[in-house]
Amino acid sequence: MSVGDAVHTGLNPGDPDRETHAVERGHLFGFWMFLMSDAVIFALLFATYGVMLPATAGGPTPASEYKIGPTFIETLLLLTSSLTYGMAAVTMKHGASNVRVGAWLGATLVLGLMFLAFEMHDFAEMFAHGAYPTRSGYLSAFFALVPLHGLHVLLGCLWMLVMLAQLRAFGIDAQVKINLLRLGLFWHFLDIVWIAIFSTVYLPGLMR
């Protein structure tokens, strides 16, 4: 294997799959640019949330609405889903069957859906307490940031369903591998964004 074959912008799809290696860099570079633009959007929303945090207008506050238990479970679910996706990438790299790769993707999908279920329950409880996006500047900023991440997770889950269908229809060919690499970058990016949300939104909010 040459040095060029050993270095990739994404997850290593395996050797000696030179067809995938040859097109991987160009395909993934554009996707990196998309992720960076998405990161800028989240950064702006984090900044907006920080500015609007004191603007509760006498309504619900972070301390009254945030619950550490469910949020911690959501964090564990998303972190574990990154692990299971990593296992899918490892099995793909070492030439495992479609079934094994699909099983790890399925596990990731289930964890992602469980995360969304917990998050929707959290939002429903906030609504029950009168914590609507239009109630205050703080809640507007919160519901601009956190549900946007949830929407990304939902899109990632739908993408995973598409990849499971592609695995069944085409097997692990070069294009499917590249699509899985893109999805892996997207999914791990969402994990990083959630860690930032947990660390800068929920944990400080519980101490206010």
Q: Is residue 141 a part of any domain in this protein?
A: yes
pLDDT of residue 16 exceeding 50, the answer is: no
Residue 133 is part of a domain; what is its CATH number?
Answer: 1.20.120.80
| 51 is a domain residue | no
Total domains in the chain come to 1
Domain membership of residue 32 (yes or no) is no
Is residue 202 one of the residues assigned to a domain?
yes
Domain assignment present for residue 144? The answer is yes
Instruction: Please write the tens of the pLDDT for every residue from 82-112.
Output: 999 999 988 887 766 788 889 999 999 999 9
Provide the percentage of residues in the chain whose pLDDT is more than 70: 86
Give me the pLDDT at residue 25, please: 60
Is residue 25 included in any domain, yes or no? no
- Ranges 82-91, 155-164, 168-177, most confident: 155-164
3-state secondary structure 61-118: CHHHHCCHHHHHHHHHHHHHHHHHHHHHHHHHHCCCCHHHHHHHHHHHHHHHHHHHHH
Q: Is residue 115 part of a domain?
A: yes
Cα angle at 123 between 122 and 127, to 5 degrees? 120
- pTM here? 0.86
What is the domain range of residue 183? 62-206
Q: Is residue 8 part of a domain?
A: no
